[in-house]
Structure 1
Amino acid sequence: SRRCGWFDAALLKRSAQVNGLSGLCITKLDVLDGLTELLLCTGYELDGEKIDLLPMGAEDIARCTPIYETLPGWTETTVGVTEYAKLPEAARRYLERIAEVTGVPVDVISTSPDRDHTIMMRHPYVAD
Structure 2
Amino acid sequence: MSTVGAEKGVTTGRSRRCGWFDAALLKRSAQVNGLSGLCITKLDVLDGLDELLLCTGYELDGERIDLLPMGADDIARCQPIYETLPGWSDSTVGVTDYAKLPEGARKYLERIAEVTGVPIAMVSTSPDRDHTILMQHPYVA
Same fold (TM over 0.5): yes
Read off the aligned partner of 2:91 and give its amino acid letter.
Answer: T
Residue of structure 1 equivalent to 2:71: 57
Residue of structure 1 equivalent to 2:140: 126
Task: State the 1:126 CA deviation.
Answer: 1.8
**TM-score by structure 2 length?**
0.88
Deviates more, 1:43-52 or 1:1-10: 1-10
Deviations 1:55-76 (A, max 9, x none): 0000000000000000000000
Residue of structure 1 equivalent to 2:12: none
Give the percent of matched residue pairs that are identical in Structure 1 and Structure 2.
85
Read off the aligned partner of 2:45 and give its amino acid letter.
Answer: V
Deviations 1:20-70 (A, max 9, x none): 000000001000000000000000000000000000000000000000000
Read off the aligned partner of 1:126 and give its amino acid letter.
Answer: V
In 2, Cα distance between equivalents of 1:114 and 1:50: 40
Structure 1 residues 74-89: aligned runs within 5 Å: 74-89=88-103
In 2, Cα distance between equivalents of 1:113 and 1:125: 22
RMSD: 0.8
Residue of structure 2 equivalent to 1:98: 112
Q: Which runs of 5+ in 2 are unaligned?
A: 8-17
Q: Which runs of 5+ in 1 are unaligned?
A: none
State the aligned residue count: 127
Which aligned runs of 4 or more in structure 1 are off by greater than 6 angstroms? Answer: none
In 1, Cα distance between equivalents of 2:64 and 2:138: 33
**TM-score by structure 1 length?**
0.97
In 2, Cα distance between equivalents of 1:123 and 1:40: 26
